[in-house]
Amino acid sequence: MLSFGDTARLFSLGRGMEMALEFATVSVFADVNQPKGLYVPFSEPDINRAIAHGAIAALWKNDAPVPRYIPNDFPLFMAEDVSVAFTQLVQFYLKKMESKDLDMKTTFIFYGPELREKNPHTYDLADAENRKRLLCACRRHGREKA
């Protein structure tokens, strides 16, 4: 699984507590179930909804104000651009999967492979084809954003 430490190596911890935990889910959507989730808001963040759906940490844009209602111990990892950070996270995790035999795998919830609809699509990374689809979706999203 993607660990807190893995994420901390990629992005600085802006606030919250350091923890020895693993993320079962990484999601760009606040309103989907994301048990032990790392929330990565691409648009208007809804951190309360993400927490209600299982988020235990979030990636946060460096210059975005942090709402006062976020619990002080809730970890926020800071990134210049959260969509670029999401792609970096995916690439890092896929390399980690190649180098280690992981018993439990982190699930990524992102847009569908074709990006035609902005609905949640769950990628089970145990399947090599899903790993390719997720990387392709990240690349397409990056091109559309540019």
pLDDT above 60 for 146: no
Note the pLDDT of residue 44. 84
Give this prediction's pTM. Answer: 0.90
Q: Return the closest-CA partner of residue 30 out of 19, 20, 40.
A: 40
Please give the domain boundaries of the chain with CATH numbers for all domains: 1-146 (3.40.1390.10)
| Model confidence pLDDT, tens digit, residues 17-33 | 777 889 999 999 999 99
| Model confidence pLDDT, tens digit, residues 33-76 | 999 999 999 888 899 999 999 999 999 999 999 888 888 899 99
Beta strand segments in the chain, E:
2-3, 12-15, 22-23, 25-27, 37-39, 55-61, 76-79, 107-111, 120-123
Better-predicted residue by pLDDT, 1 or 98: 1
Give me 126's structure tokens. Answer: 């145990």
